[in-house]
Amino acid sequence: MSADTYPTKTLLLGAAGQLGSELVPLLSARSEVVAVTRDRLDLSQPKQLRGLVEDVRPDAIVNAAAYTAVDKAEAEPDLARAVNADAPTALAAYARDAGIPLLHVSTDYVFDGSKGSPYREDDPTGPLGIYGATKLAGERGIRATCDRYGIVRTAWVYGSRGKSNFVKTMLRLGKDREELRVVCDQIGSPTWTGDLARAIAELLPHLNDRDRAGIYHCTNSGVASWYDFAVAIFEEARVLGFPLKIEGVRAIATHEYPTPAKRPAYSVLDGEKLAGLLGDRLPHWRISLRQMLREF
């Protein structure tokens, strides 16, 4: 398969998740997709992976599966490591042996949040918790194992499909409560799965070229705090007629809402590298939020 040629058969892991379910139709329009969900494959048992990929014999692998319970990971480090580090490394070994590209989704939580300006792909990492540490270990395993890979770091992901996320939680709570307290001192870029999935689908054929292998940052444009994001959710939802009881959102500091895992205070990602390859940046997060709410 030459550079920029779309794979004939793509193995997609995490196909039932909020990102994977967006990827299925996009990839299926260009490739035969074998969509694998948790029911078929337990990623905490990476030894199962070899048999699966040898049965499928794909031309490319997209891994949208992960252990994403940030707080729960603090109490389940072995499980988080098996899914987020051991499984991607096993996938990379197969990709190397088969001579095919691997696209893997990672996170802004590989950074400690102390930089204060958008993180570039080559900036030093320093995860604050088990989740970020295991995702970073997965990145390192891939980079050390195969040479046709794309690691897509993203952040603050939400969508209308799959499991719960910040937008769905705010809408659910906003139906029943008059006031909510939301953290205002963590800064990032809310990212809609619709935009993220399209970028991944466009990046995939480029990974046939070893010179384009590497890490890419991919989020919607613009920045916000969780408080800003919550306020925007309710403003846009009201315009669209969502049933809401909420009257106000109160900004609080991180220390007023303690969690088992520490989060980076600033995790905005610089997306210029990917924009240079694909020709454009993702839309501003508020535009995409509005589009997601219309769909939802």
Q: How far is CA 122 from the centre of its chain?
A: 18
Q: Report the alpha-carbon distance of residue 293 to residue 13 in Å, rounded.
A: 26
Three-state helix/strand/coil letters over 163-187: CCCHHHHHHHHHHHCCEEEEECCCE
Active-site residue among 94, 131, 227, 266? Answer: 131
Q: Which residues pair with 215 in a beta bridge?
A: 151
Handedness of CA 275, 278, 280, 282 (dihedral sign): negative
Closest CA to 125 of 30, 24, 264: 264
- Length of the chain equals 296
CA proximity to 171, closest of 293, 286, 22: 293
Reply yes or no on whether 109 is catalytic. Answer: no
d(CA 20, CA 39): 14
Alpha-helix runs per DSSP H in 101-190 = 130-145, 166-176
Name the nearest CA neighbour of 216 among 174, 294, 171, 155.
155
**Which residues are part of the catalytic machinery?**
131
